[in-house]
Structure 1
Amino acid sequence: MLKTIRDWLITIFEAILLTILLILFVAQSFLVEGYSMEPTLHNGERVLVEKLSYRLRKPKRGEIVIIQNPLQKKEKYIKRIFNFNKIP
C-alpha cells in the first residue's frame, strides 16, 4: 500500500517537473487580447508558442513573435515582425 502511494507521488512529481520544464524552455500557451493581429489571430484565441527557434536563430521578417514589455515584465505583446531597425 505504501509503495503504491509512493509510486503515485513520484509520478505526480515527475509530471509537474516535466510541465514546468516544458513551459520554461519548449512551449507555452498565450491568450490573444485585442484586435491588432486580425485576421491572422483573433481576440480571445489561445495560441501555443514554441520557444526553441529563436534560441537557435534570429527571427525573420513576417514571423509572429511574443515580446515582453521591458517596463512591465508581466505584459507581453503578440506582433508580426515587419522590419528590423539597425541599432547603433
Structure 2
Amino acid sequence: MEGFFGLVLNIIITIYLVIDSRKHGKSPVLWGILGFFFGPVVLGIYLIRTNRKLIGWIITIISTIGYIALIILIFVFAALIFGGGFS
C-alpha cells in the first residue's frame, strides 16, 4: 500500500509540475521527468526556483529528512538481519 501511495504522489507532483512549469516559462518535459522520479524534493526545488521560497524550503527539508530517515532505517534493518545486532 505504501508503494502505491508513493507512486500516486509522484504522479500528482508530475502533473502539477508539467502544468505549472508552462506558466513560468520552464521546460515541462524536464520538470515532469524530474518530478516523477524524485517527487517531493524536486517539487520543493521547483517552488524555490519560481519564487515561492518558504513553502519550497519547507517541502525540500522535510522530504530530505524523510529520505535520510528511510536510508538509516534500511541500514539498521540490514544490520539486524545480517549482522545479528549491534554488539
Q: Which TM bucket (shorter chain)?
A: 0.3 to 0.5
TM-score w.r.t. length of structure 1: 0.32
Which has the larger helix fraction?
A: 2
**Which has the greater radius of gyration?**
1
TM-score w.r.t. length of structure 2: 0.33
Which has the larger strand fraction?
A: 1
